[in-house]
Chains A and B, each alone.
Chain A
Amino acid sequence: MIFRAVEDGDLIRQAARGNVEAFNLLVSRWEKRVYNYLLRLTANREDALDLTQDVFLKAYQNLRKLDDGARFAPWLYRIAHNEAYSMFRKRRPESDVADMPPTATETGITVGGNSVFPIELSLAVAGALERLSPEQREAVILKIYQGFKFEEMAEILSCPVSTIKSRLYTALELLKTELAPIEA
């Protein structure tokens, strides 16, 4: 078990008072998770890195508006979600954002590498995720990879819990069919 000498809540309070070092420590704890979330959302490493920087800058600037430090994670991911979709809108302003899938993940999702899993498995997962709708994919990312609760996901995505559940259940059915088919 890992004990943190300073909890996130303390760092948030110090950072809100203008302590840059406290905020840097907070960033170091969250940057990898936020980056991977944005990487899977945008399917582009440069975009994900730029957005991650923007997310933390906005978080620093608006930290005083966060009343409850315990809600930091969903608050941060909400900023990340909004930043990503703001970028999608800027790039394709004529389209409906809901119809903007962050398409090919060929540059966005790492397969194989140092993973203990075979590369074919990672490829199969990347392919299965690509075939989901953007909303379903984001629900899977937030739940499976980021470990948020339904209520937190609803806050991040600004939609009802029932919608989150519907997206996630549909996505799970599709993924199950592809990744865990019934043996004949």
Chain B
Amino acid sequence: MSCSPFDLKDYFLEELGGAERKEVEAHVQACRSCREELNRLRLTGTTLLSLREEEIPRRIAFVSDPVFEPSLWRRWWMGFWNTPARLGFGSAALLSVALVFFAVTRPAPVQPVRLVQAPAAPAMPAPLALSAAMEARIDQAADRAVATRTQQLVAEVAAERQRLLMAATEVEFANKRQHAFYMSAADYGPPRPAVEAK
């Protein structure tokens, strides 16, 4: 039976803290039986470690299954889409495309302008006054049309952006489902904390 302040096996197995280790070491210096016991434990450990480890006969390596591997285009797209500036890229590209498309296919309609007889200015000849009034109305109508069209374009770009974000979410979800499909049903959670004996 050991008279050491702490279990010599705990010392040998390196389960004691620094202060406890020092206490044991001081005790072992003075106590012959504990010193012999510790020497036997050390000899046992050294002998056990004479059993050498084997090399693994075949190295283990995993490869991506080609069935689930994304295509070159998809990998490029995912690489592009995973960049932090994707929203900026996406928005700018969409805005450019939308502007070009609508500029080419749907020129902004000019609303019909009803001509109203303007009161004749005494200092101005009649044909000149009429022309100025018409130009003013045309300018107003054009401004209104441009404003309306701009609002429509902004709304469409916002809708497209929302749709793309939804598509990205779906792609991510599909990837997760694919990964889950590939996994087996075994369920290993993180290690549980040890429970002390009753």
For the complex, what is the distance from the CA of A169 to the CA of B189, rounded to whole Å?
30
B54 near A36 with CB under 8 A, answer yes
CA of A121 to CA of B125, assembled, Å: 125
A150 to B13, CA, bound (A): 9
In the complex, the chain A residue whose C-beta lies closest to that of B198 is: A160
Contacts of B192 in A (CB 8 A): 155, 158
| SS class, residues of chain A in contact with chain B | helix
- Bound CA span A62–B189, Å: 8
Interface string of B165-188 (1 = CB under 8 A from A): 000000000000001001110111
B194 engages A122 (CB within 8 Å): no
Interface residue? A89 (CB, 8 A) = no
Assess the B61–A24 pair: CB atoms within 8 A: yes
For the complex, what is the distance from the CA of A57 to the CA of B45, rounded to whole Å?
Answer: 33
Could you list which residues of chain A lie within 8 angstroms of chain B, going by C-beta atoms? 18, 20, 23-24, 27-28, 31-33, 35-36, 39, 45, 49, 52-53, 56-62, 65-68, 71, 74-75, 78-79, 82, 109-111, 113-115, 117, 121-122, 124-126, 129, 140, 143-145, 149-151, 154-156, 158-163, 168-169, 172, 175-176, 179-180, 182
Known contacts A31-B59, A125-B47, A144-B49: does B54 contact A75 (CB below 8 Å)? no
B7 smallest CB distance to A (angstroms) = 8
> Contact between B190 and A67 (Cβ–Cβ < 8 Å)?
yes
When the two chains form their complex, are residues A71 and B62 in contact, meaning their CB atoms are under 8 A apart?
no
A56 in contact with B60 given A115-B50, A168-B13 (CB within 8 Å): yes
Stretch at the interface among B36-44, B128-136, B138-146: B36-44
Determine if A109 and B44 form an interchain contact, defined as CB atoms under 8 angstroms apart: no
Seen from chain B, the residues whose Cβ lies within 8 Å of a Cβ on chain A are: 9, 13, 15, 40-41, 43-45, 47-64, 179, 182-184, 186-197
Q: B52 to A114, Cβ gap below 8 A? A: yes
Q: Which of B15, B58, B191 contacts A155 (CB 8 A)?
A: B191
Q: Is the CB of A23 within 8 A of B62?
A: yes
| B182 nearest in chain A by CB position | A61
Residues of chain A within 8 A (CB-CB) of B197 are 160-163
Which of A39, A65, A140, A168 is the one whose CB lies under 8 Å from B54? Answer: A39
